[in-house]
Each structure stands twice: as C-alpha cells, then as structure tokens.
Structure 1
Amino acid sequence: MTQRLLISALLLIGLVAGLGWLVSLGRLPPADFSFSNGTEVQSLDPAVVSGAPEGRILWSIFECLVQLDPETRQALPGVAESWEVSEDGRTYTWRLRDDARWSNGDPVTAHDFYYTYRRFLDPLTSAKYAQAMWHVKNGERYTLGASVLKPGDKVEVELHEAPDGALPHARGQVLRGELKAIERDSQFRDEEVTSKDFAKQHTLVLDVEGAERRFRMTGRTEQSDEWEPCKAVLLDFSEVGVRVVDDHTLVTELSNPTPFWPELIGFYAMSPVNQTCIETHGWPDWTAPENIVTNGPYRIQFRRIRDRIRLVKSDNYWDRDNVALEVIDALVVDSLITAFNLYETGQIDWSYTNPKLINRELLKEQPPRPDFNPARQLATYYYNFNTTREPLNDVRVRKALALALDRDQILDTVGAGEPPAYSLVPPGMPGYTSQECAANNVEEARRLLAEAGYPEGVGFPRLEILYNSGAEEHETIAELVRKQWQERLGISISGRKEEWGTYLSNSAQLNYDICRRSWIGDYLDPNTFLDMYVSNNGNNQSGYAVPEYDALIAAAAAETDPEKRMRILEQAERMLMDAQPLLPVYTYVSSNLVRPKIRGFYNNLQDSHPLRRLWIDPDLEGPNEYMADAPLYNQPQAGQEDQE
C-alpha cells in the first residue's frame, strides 16, 4: 500500500471515532486552540498525580515559584519575580511578586507556598513526588513520620478534632511539644519494626506545655486509659527548611547544594494550592471546576468526562496581557489513531503523539511536512519487574528475561526513529556516562533460567505483562515480547490491558508481574531517573529496596564536587542495571504534529510545551520555531510518567 493510500485508509478507520468530537464541537463556541490530551486526567490535585496528561493541564491552571523556559527548560520568574542563592548553595530566598493573584482575586503569598509544601510532605497526602521535596532540610523526616522520630525531637500531634471555628475540611487541631520516649507494646517486641506497622505497635510520650501526654496513632473511636488517639505524630514542621519571612518572601533551606533546585521547584507537582478552597470543599471535591481556585494563566471553564477540559484565560493572572490564546480545549482522546484523524481533518491544532506506523510514513514524506519534526527526548520506555513476586524476586530470572529481549526486532515493527535503550538514564547527558545492561544473548539467558531452576522454561509460572490503553503500540510491544520469551525461553506470558487510572493504581500497588512504564525526566540531571528506585520513593513501583543503592543516591545528593557526584550516580545506575529490576526498551523520540500557524512551540528534551507561550499567526505557513534546532537525532544535553 502506498504512503498516501495508507494514511487515507487510517483516516477512514478513524472517521467514525472522530464524529463525536465533531458533534460536540458544533454545540460549543470554537476554541482558539484545541489539542489531544490523551486519556482522562486522574486528578487535578498537583500532589497526587504523576502523568503527562495531568501535567499539561496543571501547568496551565497553576503557576509555581518559577516557570520553565519552553526551549531550554531553565527556570524563569513565575510567582517569584526573583530569587537569591546563598554562597554555600543551600538556601534560596524567593521574592514573590506583589501582583500574583488567585483566580478568586485573593493575593498569592508566601503563606500559600508554606501551606502547599507542608501538605505535599505530609504522609497523609501520599504525594507521588514527595521525595522531590526531600532536598529541603528535614523534608524526608517529616514525610516518614513517627517511625523516624527520636527522643528530644520537636514534634507536632494532629488530633482528630478540628479547632474551634475551623473550616469543615481543615486539618485537625495540632499540638506541639517534645518527644520524651517511644514505647513499644510488649506483644510486638519480637516482630520486625516496619513503618507500615509502627502506628499500631508504639505509644509516643510527649511533653506538651510541661505536661506528659501519651498518644497512639489510631482511629478516633479507639480509646484507652493509657493513651489518647490521634491522626499523626510528625516532626514539627518548624524544623523543616521552609520559612515565611513576610507575605512576599519565602525561604527554602536545602540539606545539600542542589543545582537543579530552581527547575525542580517549577515542576507541576510543586504548584501552590489554595488552603481555603481545600478546607472548604475537601478532597476530591475541591478540584471540581465549580470549586477549584487556581493561580495560573488559565482557569477551568468546564470539564466533560470522556470529552474535554475547556480552559479560558484568567482575568486575575499577573501576566495576562502576554497570554495570547483566550480559549483552549484539551480533548480526551484515548486512541492515537483517532487523535491523528482529528488533526488531519482540521479538528485539533496539536496531536502530541501518533501511532508509530503513522510516524514511519510521515518521516518518508518529501518534501518534509512543515508540521512534523521529531526530536530525541529525555525519556525512556521500559518494563518494571515486580521484584516482590516469585520468580521475579530472583535476579537470575530478571537477567534471563532481559537477555532474551531483541529490541531491534521490536523497533523494526513499531519504531519510528527511536534508538534501543540499555540504560535507564538516556545517553548523552554532559559529564555522565549511562550504565548499560547486557545486550541480547539468548544462550546466556537460557543458562541463567536453568540455573534459577527452570531449564528450558519447565516449571516456570505463567506471568502477565500489564500495560495501559491509549497507545496501540503498547499491546503490540507486549505481544512481541511475549513471543520472544516463549520462543527463546519456553515460558508462557500473557498481556493485561487496563485504562489509565486503573493501570496507575495497580502499578503503584504492585498488582502486576511485569509492567510497562515510561519516564520523562523532570529536570536535566541523571537524578531525575535514578532516585525513582530509592526504597521509599513513591514512584518506585518495582519493589526494589536496597540500602546500598539508597546510600549512593544520598551520597550523590551530599557531594559538592560536580564530577565526583556524577561518578557516584554512575555507580548507582551500575548497581541498578546489575540488579535488573527494570528492562529498558527504547529511548523516546517526540512526534508532535503542530499546525504551522501555531507559534511559540519548541522541541525540548522533556517534550513539554507551555500553553501560555503559544500564539497564532494565520499569515505564516512555514515550519514552527521548534524545527530550527532539534533534528531527529540530536543528542540530549543532559519523572513524569507518560501515558504513551
């Protein structure tokens, strides 16, 4: 089939799927700019999400202390109009602009960021990216809670009862005091202490305003003559490196110099949230379009499940005069073929990715299309092994599966310029050498599998590969991997496809054997990939927990010499690749289709494109700015999870 016939056939296949959007568009005033956002967003609470579909919306309705440049991804002034760094690189003083406003007109102050960061670190929030804030002094200790407290620590106790006059969903009354002792119940003394079981095994003895009080973290209905029930006992947040100087001055004090801190603080997970809104409506109702209070260039006009989120420019945004697009539609389009058809038929202006088969054909077009120019990304497609399940808890089994994988065959089938990946950290980061696992070696794979007790696959249990809907190639890749392992190792593997939200939930809870994953670097440093596999990182969804690995990541964070720091991170990745809790498959290449009239859209290593920077020039039909400096095989200069 010729290229034009192939694309025409795919247009016909997707025509019916696209009619729904045609109808719904006809019932609404048209947006200035429309794009496919992939699957339904899991939440609009910045603290609890980790996906690219959520990030595209959150970066539009919220603004962090800094913005990230659309080309370089370097930090630019956001809510903070300026900042200063101490000589030792540990203390950042942020000066907030006077004209920053919430969408309800209230001023955005340093107190809002103080509230946001405390909530973000609170273990009861279960923030996916909590570890990102652990660079702040004592941030980790605050998140880990009572299990890491020591006698003499200043602590805060959150009671079940709210203080008088509090809003309905406010935090419980907080008492402050000094921890005097931690008493373990005698019935648990022979059991191993874990953070999960700490609350039910221990009583904490505190000095509160000169009086001894005893607390147990348990439900409000549980009572005892020996202790008082409470929600949580945490390190006093005054011990954490976040401090308000005045309404417009915030200080963040870090444990170690962190050169990428300004870029990290600009990640969407660090977006400020409105305390009054949250405490009035509670979770998740505070994120409903009719309730949510935001501070970004756009606000949500409405959200239609399985259809779209409509964004409109905020009248209260401090830089509204430089926001060109008035109305934006983010369409919920699970199918990449449907998204491509919506683009080709003129219904959307941006399709953020396409089926690999389409990309292969688009790359062949001559002359090259002005609206399509792929570029290398700081992103890796890989499989996680659930190292807590047999037989995947055996490193020999994991290595056998990795050695039996033929990446070239996979990319020959579904690839469109992507290079095979043998490391978690994509290659090409200055000063860093990615540490690779071994390439395809079937004989060694068979030897290891036999050594693990499964000669020629005999006795090997049937395993599943979990992957999400939304991108057709996930199923194709899983089928290719399944066949390779069956033919080369004699084992049976099946696939399990789930919609995005269910997939995220099951992967987070380790309800899988082997799980498709991808990661886009949150900042331009190897740490954005490697700290995912620290034992208590919320994005560590493999069960891999090795104290020596954790120690290397901690040592890198404490190292002030940039060269030595990179060598430590290389050691960490070497350990990771030797343990093989993950199986790298390929490094991403972006595949945006963007109408030439859309300006301000640039390729960058994170494939992130702030909507507030886009504008329309209908008189120009040439290529976007992003085509100038980002050829397909440019090398990166150097985590959010991607649906595609």
Structure 2
Amino acid sequence: MTPTYFKRISLLLIPFLTLGLMACSKGDSKSQVELGNEQSILHLGNGTEISDVDPHITTGMPEYHIQMALFEGLVAKDPKTLEIIPAVAESWTVSEDGTTYTFKIRDNAKWSDGDALTAQDFVYSYHRAMMPALGNQYAYSLYILENAEAFHKGEISDFSQVGIHAIDDKTLEFKLIAPVPYFLKLLDHHSMFPVQQKTVEKFGAMDERGTKWTRAENFVGNGAYTIKEWTPNKIFIAEKNPNYWDADNVSIQQIYFYPVELATTEERMFRAGQLHMTNDVPLEKFAEYKTDAPDMLYTAPYYGTYFYRFNTENEALKDVRVRKALAMALDRKAITERVTKSGEVPAYALTPPDDYGYKALAAIEYNPEKARELLAEAGYPGGEGIPALELMYNTLESHKKIALAVQQMWKTELGVDVTLQNQEWKVYLDRERTGNFQISRAAWIGDYLDPSTFLEMFVTDGGNNKTNWGNARYDELINMAANTGDLDKRFEYFQEADQILVDEVPIIPVYYYASKHLVHPSLKGINTNVMDYKPYKYMTLVPESGAAE
C-alpha cells in the first residue's frame, strides 16, 4: 500500500485510544506502529472483548488468539506446512499398534513463575478438563483415551484409570482406545494446554469456572508470553515470558490486543498506523485493498464453516420439514457473491473439503419451490401461523449484513418473518450455551485438519452441539470413525454422518470461510495457511525503511 492510499481518508481518533492507550504522545509525530517497531511492541486487532483466557472453558477465536501467546501444548504446528512439530515435548514415540504415545518433556520447560513444568502438570490439566462440573465443551474430544468417557460421564471416579499417566517427572504416557490418526494434531488444541495446579486452586476449586486465577496479577502460564495488563473492553497486553523454554528465539517483547468489534473501526486504525494487523477486513473494503494494496491484504481459504444453529426444541423448529424449508430457501451463492464478496465458498454441507482428500457428497439443495411445499406440509402454507422466530447473532457488521440477507430471503421465498437479535459476545455465548435461542449464527474453525473436528461437534449431548438434536446412528458413525485407522473406512463413516446432518438439518451451512487480514509491511513472519495459524514466536518487527522487500 502506498502512502497516498493511507491519505484517502482522514486519520480518525479511536475513542479508547484517546484514553491513553496510544503509544505516542500528542506531540509525537510517529504513529503507534512506528513506535511499536522501535520498541518491539506488536499491535493487533482482536475482534471483540474476550470472555476469559482459561483454555479449558472457552470456545471462541478471540480467546484463542490470546491463549496462543500464553500457553503451549506438548506439540505445535509448523506455521508454513502445518505439520506437527515438538513444543513442550521434545520428542515422542508411538507403539506398533498405534495406541500408546509416550512424550519426553523438555528439561528446561518451565511455568512463567520459574517452576518446572512436569508430566504430572499435564495429568492434572487433563483431569481438570474432564471434570463434568467445569463444563469443558471439548471434553468429548478426549473420549479417545481409555476410560475418559466413563470418567466424564460419572461412571467411574478414579482418574488414574483414564489413559494418561506420568511415568516420571519428564515422561508422559497416553493410552488410546484405538489408533487415532489425528491424535497429535488434537494435542495442539487450546483445550489440551496445561494449567498450573497451585495457581488454579489458590483461587477456587479444580472444577470451578471464572475464578481470579486468570487475572493479570495472578496468572501463571507456560507460553512465550504472560499477562502484563488486562483492562476489559480496552486492551490486553502480553509480555515476553523470560522463563519460556525457547525465549531466546522470541523476538517481539510485547503484544497489545485491542477488542475492536467493528471491522470498519479496525480498518481505520490500520490506516492511521495504530495496528500492525487486523483481525478482519470490512466487506466493503476487500475489493479496494485487493486492487490498490494487494501487498497488505493477506487472504487464503480457511478451514471453517459459517452456519446457523436451530434449537430443535422450539415449537416450530422441532419439525424437520420447517428446518429443511428454511435451509432450502437460502441462496448461499447470492450471499457469497453479493454480501460477503471476500473469497468465501457456498457451503451445502457442514464439513469443508481438506487437503487429505475428503469432500462431503451430501448437499442441501437450493430449491425455494420445494421449501414452500415442505412448509405447507408442516402446516404453515405461505408462512401463515408459524410461531415467531428470532435469529440471534453476535455483534459484528458482517454478521448483521448476512442476517439481513437471510431474513429477506425467508420473507420473500417462504413468507416467514424472522426478528434479528444482536447480542454482545459474552451474552451471545451464554445464550448459546444455555439453549436460550431459536436460530443462532454460528461458526466452526477446524481444530485440526480432519473431518472429525467438525462432525464430532454434533454427537448427542456434545458440549458444542447446542441444538438439542441427536441421532443414534450419527453417534455410532462418529464412534466408529474414531476407532479405526483405515482412512477409507473413516471417510465412508464421515460421508454418512454428513448426509444425516443434511437430512435432519439441525444446522444450515452457509459458506466456507476465507481468512483475511490487513498486515503492515513492518510485520514479518506471517504465513497464509488453511488454519490461519500465525504463532507470535515466529513474528518480527522491522523499521519501515527496511520493510519494503
């Protein structure tokens, strides 16, 4: 992007930056980015205010962006290839039958307070993550461990029977119920990050949510960074952790995360030199940057699906014909071409295609005529008599624009009136978690490159299901896929599972994501990949004079 492009709009003052968050004083002509380059401070837009940083109770991407800085699992991903690489564990071995994994933890792995990080810390963390009262929505992901499902469901109470054991201080062993092809990828998920027992239990019980252990003054983690400041709705500052095992290779000293819900505000901050990287790009600005400043626009296919959840216990939505009618009246192509216009691909099934050859064959067709017939069969011809419906979405301009388009399609094609309800992030999450909604905007970003990361979500009573829908055959398919290492068989099970979702419609897939960020030339070490995986330890800041390459 040329300097001329930055001058096309006036440099707007962002309200919370005027409250003292700007790195420069009134009389300083240097921008926040320029000062950040000099002081090794990275400025990032983060979408919205986070609910917490506890890795065992959160599900959102804003939280994950920060957790990536504060915690580290046994393994990580190569930011270029996404192949699994050593992290807290320096090495591992796998038994011949693929059911036993043994990890060697680094001798210099430490918590941010200087205490040694041990195998027992991981046993404690997995124990906590499996405690039913904690409400970890990813607990089902650990059912691949011996006796994990029985423990989580309260059928056994002795966690030592679960398939994770500390052989000694630096040796950790996992026992799986069957070979799991994606097991190493799963270990990089935030719900598998370790937490320090003494810190957690200083401020509450092992399985207590929302305690003070995650506050800046109390926090202890094991990542490349720790918490310096957390002022809700203003700023979250992470600073380099000197006790991190690979601290010598971490360049950036501090990261400032700004909770900016409006993409238009974030883009103005970027133009004003207040951000090195945005969380998103406004829909109406994408084409402009693509044409005039392609060097600053980082975009790529993204392993994620934008969809709507139905609460299947709702009076009208419990009828599959109503759900299917709403799904078939949705013109996804029009949404991606006329509303989002940023590289998204219409989605007719939940699971996006991946690099390993999986592509869902199931598809929800766009057929307004058939949709009207189904609605009439359900007793609501032309939408007459259907109970009032509400579509809930979290605060974001793009969500509102998509919801408005969907609202109009349902009115035009079906005669169905839907009220739109905008909710702040924490309220939205709470309403989804408690089932206090009718139709809810949702999204799922793959935790690893495997169809299971999407399809496991909708097992009966799964923590991330949230639709009140369940299907015994679906559960059986997901279980069988988890218990075989035969790739062809797994894909066969997944195809049938995707078809069940299309047939019973607990959700409406809308599109497959494309990641998009605006990145200042001074920020280096950014790689585009289908996971939008950008670990901060590999990033560097250089003066603008040396940034043009």
Q: TM-score, normalised by structure 2?
A: 0.93
Q: Provide the secondary structure at the position in 2 that maps to 1:373.
A: strand
> Quick check: 1:451 aligned with 2:460?
no
Matched residue type, 1:543 = N
Partners of 2:224 and 2:240 within 8 A in 1: yes
> Quick check: 1:251 aligned with 2:176?
no
Q: Deviations over 1:477-514 (max 9, x none)?
A: 11111111111111110100001010011011111111
Counterpart CA distance in 1 for 2:488 and 2:335 is 36
Q: Provide the secondary structure at the position in 2 that maps to 1:350.
A: coil
Aligned to 2:407: 482
Aligned with 1:314 (options 234, 241, 249)? 241
Partners of 2:352 and 2:359 within 8 A in 1: no
Matched residue type, 1:414 = T
Partners of 2:300 and 2:514 within 8 A in 1: yes
Partners of 1:435 and 1:570 within 8 A in 2: yes
Partners of 1:73 and 1:263 within 8 A in 2: no
Aligned to 2:344: 418
Matched residue type, 1:53 = P
> Quick check: 1:50 aligned with 2:59?
yes
Aligned to 2:495: 570
> Quick check: 1:374 aligned with 2:299?
yes
Aligned with 1:35 (options 41, 44, 51)? 44
> Quick check: 1:270 aligned with 2:192?
yes
Counterpart CA distance in 2 for 1:285 and 1:592 is 33
Partners of 1:7 and 1:358 within 8 A in 2: no
Aligned to 1:110: 119
Q: Provide the secondary structure at the position in 2 that maps to 1:24.
A: coil
Counterpart CA distance in 2 for 1:447 and 1:322 is 62
Matches within 5 A, 1:67-466: 67-145=76-154, 149=155, 234-282=156-204, 283-365=210-292, 368-411=293-336, 412-466=338-392
> Quick check: 1:17 aligned with 2:14?
yes
Question: How many angstroms does 1:8 deviate by?
Answer: 7.2
Q: Deviations over 1:384-428 (max 9, x none)?
A: 111111211111111100111112222212322211111111124
Counterpart CA distance in 2 for 1:319 and 1:380 is 34
Counterpart CA distance in 1 for 2:79 and 2:418 is 42
Aligned to 2:418: 493
Q: Deviations over 1:142-177 (max 9, x none)?
A: 1111xxx3xxxxxxxxxxxxxxxxxxxxxxxxxxxx
Question: How many angstroms does 1:237 deviate by?
Answer: 1.0
Counterpart CA distance in 2 for 1:236 and 1:428 is 39
Aligned to 2:29: none
Partners of 2:354 and 2:450 within 8 A in 1: no
Question: How many angstroms does 1:601 deviate by?
Answer: 0.8
Percent sequence identity over aligned pairs: 39
Q: Deviations over 1:35-80 (max 9, x none)?
A: 0011111111110001111111111111111122212222211111
Counterpart CA distance in 2 for 1:373 and 1:347 is 18
Counterpart CA distance in 1 for 2:546 and 2:367 is 52
> Quick check: 1:621 aligned with 2:543?
no
Unaligned runs of at least 5 residues, structure 1: 150-233, 624-644
Aligned to 2:537: 612
Aligned to 1:627: none
Counterpart CA distance in 2 for 1:546 and 1:6 is 54
Matched residue type, 2:21 = S
Q: Provide the secondary structure at the position in 2 that maps to 1:401.
A: helix
Unaligned runs of at least 5 residues, structure 2: 26-34, 205-209
Aligned to 1:590: 515
Question: How many angstroms does 1:332 deviate by?
Answer: 1.4
Aligned with 1:540 (options 432, 455, 465)? 465
Q: Provide the secondary structure at the position in 2 that maps to 1:25.
A: coil
Partners of 2:303 and 2:354 within 8 A in 1: no
Question: How many angstroms does 1:306 deviate by?
Answer: 1.1
Q: TM-score, normalised by structure 1?
A: 0.79
Please give the root-mean-square deviation of Cα atoms over the aligned residues, in Å.
1.9
Q: Provide the secondary structure at the position in 2 that maps to 1:587.
A: strand
Aligned with 1:560 (options 485, 488, 508)? 485
Counterpart CA distance in 2 for 1:421 and 1:622 is 38
Q: Provide the secondary structure at the position in 1 that maps to 2:76.
A: strand
